[in-house]
């Protein structure tokens, strides 16, 4: 075992600051187990990144199990500390849904928020308790609803079409002498704005998600008349990558008012889901609240509002995604070609790009990177990290500060656990990368790298086109 020292933020030259071990993972750039070994190479989870690339290839997603587990524990323990009632943390698995991730978060006592039949099937296959699974989505198919009902998960109803479809399914079930009692939550649009990208704001009134608050009376009346629907709770979500605490505090207060309104219609609503949305630190200038601070703010407002309204404390649910998984993962690439545009820019190309990380081209998202095999080298170059796809906009990072690079160097992009693999594509017929989970010096494959055969597996060639 080589000797190592901890790293955090890389500054000019080869200086590294150790991360705060008691920190909230969402406030760090690298996974908490990141180290530089005596060879000047980056290690995560006790595994040398360059060795991992030699073994598993690149691009490669590398998930640090310790960082993911710590984030789960901080959410879970903060809810228990600051909330006097019952609570349940759910992992918003759209951030990254696969068997291994679902199994890890479930083992820490978290439930799972899913948004499709595929995510639901994966969570169930990973052994997650159906009573801790909540199905979201603004246009669930009848087959997805049937799977949810058969599995015994809670359905977060988003609109009138879905509400009436569930009643139809229940009526059909009753006609077949199999009456259903379907647990549901109602998703409502709170009309709360927050400072984040337009595409990831979901709480403002002009959103495709949730019932309009002006329809509450009609919705509550309808649900109260449906014996097959068991309305257990209310749900709202205001967006993602949020650094402000006030919008979430406002949301909690609004939701308690909704809770009070629901009681007037005889609805026994016992759960309140305040969503997620806590941001992470992608670059040095990002300054998100800690997990503990976010949970504390939510719990205090809900409790105070319930006391003022003379309501019993509901079961409090929250559904973080990005702030649980993003920092726990990095992506390793192999550097290839370089193009120097005199007095303008130097492009350094890697063997991946927008197919394994579509967030920069979609949201103009910013990332940080280091060269895993040159961690002790001085930062002498300002370059633009380009992907290999046939798109001028396939740029991962502009103005990255790196040491002098060469073909074959291993570039590591930080904070890629959320919405990277889950939004990955086969654009230009690139195969999706492999993923490994690392812990205590051991790396285990959790997603196999796609092959060329995988790319054509679903293709069909009509006989008349065959030669």
Report the alpha-carbon distance of residue 108 to residue 110 in Å, rounded.
6
Please confirm, yes or no, whether 41 is among the known catalytic residues.
Answer: no
Q: Hey, what are 399's tokens?
A: 């103005």
Q: Which of 72, 194, 390, 460 is catalytic?
A: 390
Report the alpha-carbon distance of residue 128 to residue 143 in Å, rounded.
20
How long a stretch of residues is the chain? 467
Q: What is the dihedral of CA 22, 25, 31, 35, to 10 degrees?
A: -20
| Closest of 402, 396, 391, 461 to residue 428, by C-alpha | 391
Q: Hey, what are 85's tokens?
A: 């009632």
- Catalytic center residues: 390
């Amino acid at each position: 075992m080589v000797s190592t020292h901890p790293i955090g933020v890389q500054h000019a030259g080869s200086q590294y600051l150790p991360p705060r071990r008691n920190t909230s993972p969402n406030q760090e750039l690298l996974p908490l187990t990141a180290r530089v070994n005596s060879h000047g190479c980056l290690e995560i989870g006790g595994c040398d990144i360059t060795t991992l690339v030699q073994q598993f290839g690149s691009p490669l997603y590398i998930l640090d199990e310790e960082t993911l587990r710590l984030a789960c524990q901080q959410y879970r323990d903060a809810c228990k500390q600051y909330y006097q009632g019952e609570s349940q943390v759910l992992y918003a698995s759209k951030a990254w849904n696969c068997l291994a991730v679902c199994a890890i978060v479930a083992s820490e006592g978290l439930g799972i928020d899913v948004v499709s039949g595929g995510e639901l099937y994966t969570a169930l296959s990973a052994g997650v308790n159906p009573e801790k699974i909540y199905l979201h989505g603004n246009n669930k198919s009848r087959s997805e609803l049937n799977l949810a009902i058969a599995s015994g998960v809670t359905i977060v109803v988003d609109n009138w079409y879905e509400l009436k479809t569930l009643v139809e399914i229940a009526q059909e079930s009753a006609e077949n002498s199999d009456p259903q009692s379907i647990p549901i939550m109602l998703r409502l649009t709170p009309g709360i704005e927050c400072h984040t990208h337009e595409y990831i704001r979901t709480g403002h009134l002009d959103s495709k998600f949730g019932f309009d608050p002006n329809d509450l009376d009609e919705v509550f009346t309808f649900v109260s008349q449906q014996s097959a629907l068991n309305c257990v709770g209310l749900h709202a979500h205001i967006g993602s990558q949020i650094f402000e605490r006030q919008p979430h505090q406002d949301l909690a207060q609004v939701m308690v008012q909704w809770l009070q309104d629901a009681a007037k219609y005889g609805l026994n609503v016992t759960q309140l889901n305040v969503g997620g949305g806590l941001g992470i630190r992608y670059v040095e200038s990002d300054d998100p609240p800690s997990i503990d601070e976010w949970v504390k703010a939510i719990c205090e407002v809900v409790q105070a509002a319930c006391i003022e309204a003379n309501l019993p404390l509901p079961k409090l649910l929250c559904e973080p995604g990005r702030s649980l998984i993003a920092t726990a993962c990095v992506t390793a690439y192999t550097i290839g070609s370089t193009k120097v545009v005199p007095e303008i820019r130097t492009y350094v190309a890697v063997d991946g790009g927008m197919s394994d990380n579509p967030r920069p081209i979609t949201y103009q998202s910013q990332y940080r990177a280091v060269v895993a095999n040159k961690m002790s080298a001085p930062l002498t170059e300002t370059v633009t990290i380009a992907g290999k796809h046939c798109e001028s906009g396939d740029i991962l990072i502009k103005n990255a500060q790196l040491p002098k690079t060469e073909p074959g160097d291993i570039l590591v992009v930080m904070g890629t656990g959320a919405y990277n693999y889950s939004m990955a594509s086969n654009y230009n017929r690139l195969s999706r990368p492999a993923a490994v989970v690392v812990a205590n010096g051991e790396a285990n494959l959790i997603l196999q790298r796609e092959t060329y055969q995988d790319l054509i597996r679903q293709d069909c060639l009509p006989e008349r086109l065959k030669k």
